[in-house]
Amino acid sequence: MHSIIILAAGKGTRMKTKMPKCVFPLLDKPLILYLISTLKELDNCYKPLCVVGYQKEALQEVLKDEVNYVFQEEQLGTADAVLKCEKEVQDADFSLIINGDTPLLTSEYLNALIDKHLKEKNDLTLLTTYLVNPQGYGRIIKDNKFKIKKIAEEKDLSKKEFGINEVNLGVYVINNDKLFDALKRINNLNNSHEYYLTDIVKLFYEQKYKISCLNVEDNFHLHGINDLITLSEIENKLKEEINNKALKNGVYLINKDSIILGTDVKIDEGSIIYPNTLILGKCQIGKNCVIGPNCEINDSIIEDNVKIKHSLINNSYIKKGATIGPFAHLRMNAIIGENDRIGNFVEIKKSLIGKATNVAHLTYIGDTTCGDNVNFGCGVITVNYDGINKHHTTIGNNVFIGCNSNLIAPLNIGDNVFIAAGSTITTSLEKNDFSIARAFQVTKKNYSPKYKYNTR
């Protein structure tokens, strides 16, 4: 049995913002959630311990119950952070310790690191790589027999050590029976006056404990995030990787550099995505869809043969053959039926729309259940809010709703109802009713000259 410790208590001062580094967004989700997803893929996955400190509430809001929490009230360094976990991991044989700012780290590398540690019966196993430009990373220092003897943080490098390009990636597997004894002997006599976890390597070397490393060449997936420049560079590479994968799977991205797809987006072959489109969160898009240009879609399901143009869609479900936009807004579990037409400047919120229904333009539908083959004229509003509570509207099949009609909820509209243009409906209508609810027109002949008005 082993424990997993995530270090996420630091301020991330090089980011130069008040937000904790580990909750910074990378494409469409916080950095640390990438790591949580990876840990769930391990051969033996245990609920991680996450050490939090600086703005711990922000991390807890993101992580919720995905981890168990350990609090480091004063940020004294990574060694002190791990030491805070001693009681929680005392029954484990060894600990996998990871910095929370390595979002693209893969389960393949972590499994390999643990396997190497166990097979070689190491006391400490590190994950390392070689970088052409190792700036910002601690260096792996070896003795004349090529055994790892310490990790030198960049602030503390000697001139000779500065040219070393094998770097520490902040991922360790350490036997617990030796870990906490060593942590208690670490001091803060360095340029940052912090207790470095990396100093454990020197202590293990001096005790002749067995130290080894797994060196990997994939720099992209191993990058830690130290500042906003690095974050932006990683985001661009990740975006390119995702887009190229979509292209290989038969999704045509027109001007792919202007398109952003999230890590949890799945798009079936034959679909076309036009420029300036963002598809983020947990999205599933079917075959032969045409999306964009200028669309933003979040956490939604879109079935086959759907067309969406210049529109915003959040937490919604669009069934096959529907046409959306331009300038439509679907949100809060809007469900659009097969072959529906949702046109320009239409907002649909928390509503179920049946199939073959036409909502062409300038309409608001909220808190509504609507049947099949319904026509909403221009300017129709389901008036769902009375200033205190939201109310529901139910509309049957084959209903015609004329332009500029207001449906004052709560309301039930039966099948085959016809509502005349300009009506304000306040009472429910039964099947086959015809309703007109507006004042009679009054016309006064030759009366207009009494009123002067400017046509400009």
Burial 49-76 (b: 16+ CB within 10 A, else e): bbbbbbbbebbeebbeeebeebebeeeb
> CB neighbours (10 Å) of residue 347?
20
* Pairwise CA distance, residues 219 & 408, whole Å: 60
Distances, alpha carbon 412 to alpha carbons 207, 247, 366, 392, 431, in Å:
80, 47, 14, 9, 10
Pair 411, 370: CB distance under 8 Å? no
Quick one: which of 269, 270, 303 has its CA closest to 286?
303
For residue 16, give both structure tokens.
Answer: 């130069």
The verdict on whether 361 is a catalytic residue reads yes
By three-state DSSP, how is residue 200 classified?
helix
Angle between helices 107-119 and 31-39 (to 10 degrees): 50
Alpha-carbon separation of residue 346 from 232, 366, 445 (angstroms) = 35, 11, 39
Bridge partners for 401 per DSSP: 376, 419
User: Which token pair is 255?
Assistant: 């001007």
Q: How far is Cα 272 from Cα 20, in angstroms, rounded to an integer?
A: 37
CA distances from 408 to 36, 342, 392, 437 (A): 47, 22, 9, 12
- Tell me 163's DSSP state: G
Tokens found for residue 209: 């404990």
Give, in order, the Cα–Cα distances in Å from 76 to each of 72, 100, 195, 248, 342: 8, 17, 6, 47, 57
Residues 2, 310, 329, 361: which is the catalytic one? Answer: 361
Catalytic positions: 361
